Structure 1
């Protein structure tokens, strides 16, 4: 009972009082991929993360050895690492997160598993036009949040003291990763409701490279915004699917436009029709 009360107090404090949290190193011994190292953020709001063989094999459905994959809203890297192991040491995963406190952990995870993965962490948000953005979260210790051009409380009342940088992904890819574009197989977006704006901003990359797209249909989106997210992806020539979790044997259902409003929050992936 005392330990439960102590854990509850830590969570309440983290929500109300800002503190930086360290990481702890953990290892997972997987059936196919062997030992995978992971730096887990010791933030009481996030819970313990795990890397499983089923997660890696989920991404292997879309990512081959040597491919380029992109994780937008990478957080500490709990999906970035499985994506990178799927792509292998000859591949490349770009992990984007603008939150400097989370980014420290993502950076550490990028240094691990060098014989199995290749991650480049980038401390920025993906935006239509480059610039500086405000970052708000519902928790003082910034375990999750979103960006905005102007100060607002859409993503929570706690605002980061400093602004964060936004970059245009298409411009960055053509400038720094042009040789990788023909190998782009997957773009994952999880940005607290900004997914459709990001997908719109990279429409030229989607049109040219036709990667699989993973996105989140976010809790706070309106009916019209959810339908717009569907339309933006579908109109690029994609079929959309609901999936329950990032696991090889996850439940999968084809999505129609009307299905976008059946649940508050869910993950979807989209595959080019051809």
Structure 2
């Protein structure tokens, strides 16, 4: 543990964090518009940032989730907020499926995907930041999730090496390229295409893909053309960080070339219907500057006449 703290102190910290998560979960059910936490929340948050040594959080779904010592916004969220399931995972990740998590971070989606596809399925998790990939690996070991493979690479439309900017306060905002020099650490990472990764892994099917790469979604999907054309997986895609010109190129690839339909924006309580034209025109619900998660599906197979 950090400093001279004892095991007993760590036990108390973990217990108090669990109490806070349970309290918040109950408050959200009772009154989701006015979640109140006791005065000790901020004190406990500061203590977690000061003393958290790296370790496992037991989620309400029964899985152990490793939160690294280097506590940023993503890690603090796991310690302080109640566990929430992502409904899209249960709808699109079925037992035996092969699914891909691009931008896995410490595994919020990866672990739920692995639980959904089961031992007979497969999860390919893509995370180029070394300490996050290592944390995710620990979570898979602690839960005996042998169906998870972790690729510590970045994805783009070509292969090689590249600079990757790691945001210190929020690793979820990290991205390929050199950005925010004062608030970021720059590392060199291996860059691959999803098509190349799938081919080298000898994967025979891809049933679902989630992509969250902070504005580099177009480059990732250009490097996944063959995979998308062959397997036609539904996709959960973060959009909104790109400019209008990049939006047009993304729509040209997914809508015009690959015939993906946009169902809408995924929200905590449902899906807000939206179209490609809304996205291209930055019309509501795609207001300028807003980050959105959209659900994209290929057209249904034509019914076979009998």
| Alignment check: 8 A CA contact 1:23 1:105 kept | no
Greater RCO, CA 8 A, separation 6+:
1
The equivalent position to 1:122 in structure 2, one of 146, 151, 154, is 151
Partner of 1:36: 63
The equivalent position to 1:45 in structure 2, one of 47, 62, 73, is 73
Count of aligned pairs: 249
Distance change in 2, residues 1:189/1:22 (3 Å) = farther
Structure 1: tracts of 5 or more residues without a match: 14-20
TM-superposed CA distance for 1:173, in Å, is 1.2
Partner of 2:259: 237
Equivalent position SS for 1:106 = helix
Distance change in 2, residues 1:188/1:212 (3 Å) = same
| Alignment check: 8 A CA contact 1:10 1:44 kept | no
Distance change in 2, residues 1:273/1:142 (3 Å) = closer
Distance change in 2, residues 1:112/1:254 (3 Å) = farther
Matches within 5 A, 1:98-247: 98-114=128-144, 118-139=147-168, 142=171, 144-148=173-177, 152-153=178-179, 157-160=182-185, 162-176=187-201, 178=202, 180-182=203-205, 184-219=206-241, 221-235=242-256, 236-245=258-267
With the length of structure 1 as denominator, give the TM-score of the two structures. Answer: 0.79
Partner of 1:254: 274
| Alignment check: 8 A CA contact 1:138 1:156 kept | no
Distance change in 2, residues 1:82/1:140 (3 Å) = closer
Partner of 2:15: none
| Alignment check: 8 A CA contact 2:165 2:186 kept | no
With the length of structure 2 as denominator, give the TM-score of the two structures. Answer: 0.72
- For the pair shown, the structure with the greater C-alpha radius of gyration is 2
| Alignment check: 8 A CA contact 1:88 1:117 kept | no
| Alignment check: 8 A CA contact 1:91 1:117 kept | no
| Alignment check: 8 A CA contact 1:97 1:125 kept | yes
Q: Residues of 1 paired with 2:170 and 2:60: CA distance?
A: 31
| Alignment check: 8 A CA contact 1:110 1:120 kept | no
TM-superposed CA distance for 1:141, in Å, is 7.5
Runs of 4+ in 1 over 6 A off after TM superposition: 8-11
More strand by share: 1
Distance change in 2, residues 1:203/1:108 (3 Å) = same
TM-superposed CA distance for 1:208, in Å, is 0.5
Equivalent position SS for 1:225 = helix
Q: Calculate the aligned-residue CA RMSD, in Å.
A: 2.8
TM-superposed CA distance for 1:8, in Å, is 6.5
Distance change in 2, residues 1:23/1:253 (3 Å) = farther
Q: Residues of 1 paired with 2:229 and 2:295: CA distance?
A: 16
Q: Residues of 2 paired with 1:48 and 1:258: CA distance?
A: 32
